[in-house]
């Protein structure tokens, strides 16, 4: 309970104080910070996806700036020969302003990534954007095979959504979901979400889709490993995905077992909203960080 209380009051503290907690989850504010983190991960045989933090922009100029920054990320990945791709949010590319404008930006980014022999992941946002995100992604995937989409297992609709887009041969990131949604559209209990997650995962893998199994849940990790073993999948037919700063021991264990592991590496000046979501999702982390602040030596 104390962890949840600490996480809930953090938004009311000065930004400089909150950053003490946020540093666990972000690479830094600058692109060079993210590049350094990815270099360190690659040295440990861990791959990455880089995300420039930011969403819900309000002007087309901001969307174009996000597009240009994403291109810079791709340039730096190529420059340093990193094993990494990029993740983007469509609201950062102007989705709420003009859907076609957003699509054209993302299409140009996918083309740029293809020239760099790289890949673009479309992140999923809250439920108000699910339909339009999938619509944009289907258009994108029909033109560019180097694109993927995130899918959230806690929404009641998700299994049906996967059935509808599986024909596009999509590249999935399957996660539980982090946005607060109404009980009328989302599964609220832990076991129910896990059950739906595994049901969706089996559907994806049975249809030969490549899946980023994105979870830190021990039960889901063990169950997913059993599923890929039972289906006799090669290690290059799926990967596990985790967030920067969360359960590094579990991450390292997966790597040691020979699984592909990709870490989500966010960076940017818009770190506050992202970090608060992470801390609310994982309140125990606040206590670990507090203890680390007072360790001697």
Point out the residues that are catalytic: 123, 173
Residue 143's nearest CA partner among 124, 161, 169 is 169
Q: Residues near 281 by Cβ (< 8 Å), separated by ≥ 6?
A: 178
Instruction: Give the torsion sign (CA, 96, 101, 105, 111).
Output: positive
The count of other CB atoms within 10 Å of the CB of residue 77 is 23
Structure tokens that stand for 296 in this block:
């001697």
Tell me the DSSP string of 204-260: HHHTT-EEEEE---HHHHHHHHHHHHHTT--GGGEEEEEETTS-HHHHHHHHHTT--
d(CA 184, CA 266): 31
The answer to whether 122 and 88 have CB atoms below 8 angstroms apart is yes
d(CA 87, CA 38): 14
The answer to whether 51 and 264 have CB atoms below 8 angstroms apart is yes
d(CA 31, CA 268): 7
């Amino acid at each position: 309970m104390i962890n949840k209380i600490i996480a809930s009051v953090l938004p009311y503290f000065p930004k400089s104080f909150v950053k003490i907690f946020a540093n666990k989850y972000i690479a830094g504010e600058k692109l060079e910070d993210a590049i350094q983190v990815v270099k360190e991960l690659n040295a440990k045989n861990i791959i990455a996806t880089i995300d420039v933090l930011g969403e819900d922009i309000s002007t087309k100029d901001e969307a174009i700036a996000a597009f240009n920054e994403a291109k810079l990320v791709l340039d730096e990945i190529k420059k340093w020969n990193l094993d990494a791709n990029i993740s983007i949010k469509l609201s950062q590319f102007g989705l709420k302003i003009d859907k076609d404008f957003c699509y054209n930006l993302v299409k140009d980014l996918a083309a740029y990534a293809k020239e760099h022999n790289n890949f673009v992941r479309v992140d999923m946002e809250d439920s108000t954007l699910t339909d339009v995100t999938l619509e944009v992604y289907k258009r994108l995937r029909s033109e560019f095979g180097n694109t993927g989409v995130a899918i959230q297992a806690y929404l009641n609709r998700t299994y049906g959504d996967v059935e509808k887009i599986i024909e596009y041969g999509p590249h999935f990131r399957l996660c539980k979901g982090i946005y607060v949604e109404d009980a009328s559209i989302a599964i609220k209990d832990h076991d129910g979400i896990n059950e739906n997650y595994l049901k969706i995962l089996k559907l994806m893998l049975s249809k030969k889709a490549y899946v980023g199994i994105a979870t830190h849940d021990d039960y889901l990790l063990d169950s997913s490993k059993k599923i890929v073993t039972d289906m006799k999948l090669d290690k290059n037919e799926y990967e596990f995905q985790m967030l920067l700063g969360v359960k590094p021991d579990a991450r390292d264990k997966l790597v040691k077992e020979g699984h592909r592991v990709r870490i989500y590496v966010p960076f940017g000046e818009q770190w506050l909203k992202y970090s608060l979501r992470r801390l609310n999702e994982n309140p125990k982390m606040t206590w670990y960080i507090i203890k680390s602040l007072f360790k001697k030596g």
